[in-house]
Amino acid sequence: MKPLALLSVTDKTGIVEFARGLLDAGFELISTGGTGRLLDEQGFEVTSVSYYTGMPEILDGRVKTLHPRIHGGLLARPEDAKHQEEMDELNIRPIRVLAVNLYPFEQTVLRGSPPDEAIENIDIGGPAMIRAAAKNAMSVFVVTDPEDYPRVLEAIRSGDDSIRESLRAKAFRHTAFYDALIAEYLSDEPTDAPPTLTVPYRLRQSLRYGENPHQSAALYVRPFEQRGVASANQLWGKELSYNNILDAEAAWELASDLFYSFESLIRPVAIIKHGNPCGAAWAGDPRESFRLAREADPVSAFGGIVAVPGELERSTAEVIAEKGNFFEVVICSAASDEAVAVFRERSGWGQDVRILAAGAPPRGSFTSIRGLRGAALVQSADVEPKTSEWKVVTRSRPERALEPAMRGAWTVVKHVKSNAIVVCSPKSLLGVGAGQSNRVQSVRLALGQAGESARGAVLASDAFFPFADSILEAASAGVAAVVQPGGSKRDAEVIAAADEAGLAMVFTSARHFRH
């Protein structure tokens, strides 16, 4: 008696050729619905699952393969005499090849279908068959990826069983990913620490290496999260590296935050180097914003990442590509053909710079997952609290003209590694102190970078000042106002120092640690 192969696929890619190869190898085909009709149209001899089981499809096709003749055929052990005896008694034939891929739940959700249609596209019989075949993979070739059809046919022809374990693992990854997609769709973001967390990631691209050449790396994306650098369309330039992606994400998040902090009334630009802002500006014209952002630290900006929310036009591209500049990535919402041509036609780094179109600037929280050895830390992303919660705590009130500087400084500082200090003018970042073990050292670094421009500027801190020393440093540099969360046991001492120096100070009641 011929061995059985059961084919039931939503993705029909390559299935005709696979079926032909199975027939040539002496298999008898059984199939369901659309797959069966396609094979029948090709002139192949194929038996419907309903005919094979003696049971029609019921409940609008919700039940068709959930039957002992199917699952018995997939799960029976050929070396087990008792299994063979039961199979013979119940007229169940062993199924030696199973090719199944699942209902298009993901595609149904992504095209904006209503929940009832999405639920209807949750496959039940398919995962059950895949899991059964994968459990019995030493007896059944379980195939969930059309790319595996040729190597399965070759294994059948050669008698090579070495691919069975890899097919088994791939099958369980396939069903696990599918179930994770469904769980994500049906769940809110896990801000309340659910007892289990399943997150679906699909490989988008393998990377040449990780942070360093001896580390392997790849980029995976969550199909239902369509925003950000990972989903951006690369319009020009060479392949992105691991570090490019990290820095581009940091630049895009900062530029997007600035975009919404000013209620889309400005065209901000952010420049990131090694994960920290080295330039940021929020003028009305992106060309002015770029110039101001670069002026904050031209040395660090060289070789950095530039983010420009909104469409990148030729005039802005020309400013970015001016002689003396060099950037690894330029990321924007969209770019005109003329803007891309500026880099394409520019000799040197213009030929290599990556141009990414990431769509609308992202807004709102998302789940942040950081891997540890054998574990993960999960949190909601840091979303900016409303400025209406800010409170002036000093006798002096900030001048109205400083409001853009305060808003910009408080937006930028949350994107700087702690301990974080920034100094800002009403239009741009002037100085950054990042990643220091003590806060006063970050203050000195930020003020030193700002230089004389610190006079009349705003200084922001990602967390409270534990001592008055930082306030004294700011006052001596001529800073006009300070933005900080407050909450220290020595707040009164810090406020008194600000009052004595004539500084205005605002408490935000929110912290922006970034580790």
135 is catalytic: yes
Q: Which of 238, 274, 386, 417 is catalytic?
A: 274
Tell me the β-bridge partners of 505: 482
Catalytic annotation present for 274: yes
Strand partners, 277: 272
Q: For 432-455, what is the HEC assignment?
A: EECCCCCHHHHHHHHHHHHHHHHC
In sequence order, what are the beta bridge partners of 372?
Answer: 375
Cα 391 vs. chain centroid, distance in angstroms?
A: 35
- Distance in angstroms (rounded) separating the CA atoms of residues 304 and 290: 13
Q: Using CA atoms, how far apart are residues 243 and 40, in angstroms rounded to an integer? A: 51
258-289: b (≥16 Cβ within 10 Å) or e:
bbbbbeeebbbbbbbbbbbbbbbbbbeebbbb
Alpha-carbon separation of residue 261 from 387, 399, 502 (angstroms)? 10, 19, 28
Cβ(409)–Cβ(386) under 8 Å?
no
Per the CB < 8 A criterion, the answer to whether 200 and 184 are in contact is yes
- Bridge-based pairing of strands 481-484 and 504-507 is parallel
Q: Structure tokens of 256?
A: 């997007």
What's the CA gap between 378 and 393, in Å, rounded? 34
φ, ψ of residue 502 to 5 degrees: the values are 80, 20
In whole angstroms, give the CA distance from residue 474 to residue 488: 18
Tokens for 4, please give them.
């059985």
Catalytic residue among 67, 135, 170, 512: 135
Q: Give the three-class secondary structure for 94.
A: coil
421 token code pair: 């200090």
Torsion-angle region of 420 (φ positive above 0: left; ψ -120 to 50: alpha; else: beta): beta
Q: Which of 5, 4, 129 is nearest to 67 (CA)?
A: 129
Can you point out the beta strands (E) in 24-91? 28-31, 46-48
| Amino acid identity for residue 257 in this structure | D
Query: What residues act catalytically?
Result: 135, 274
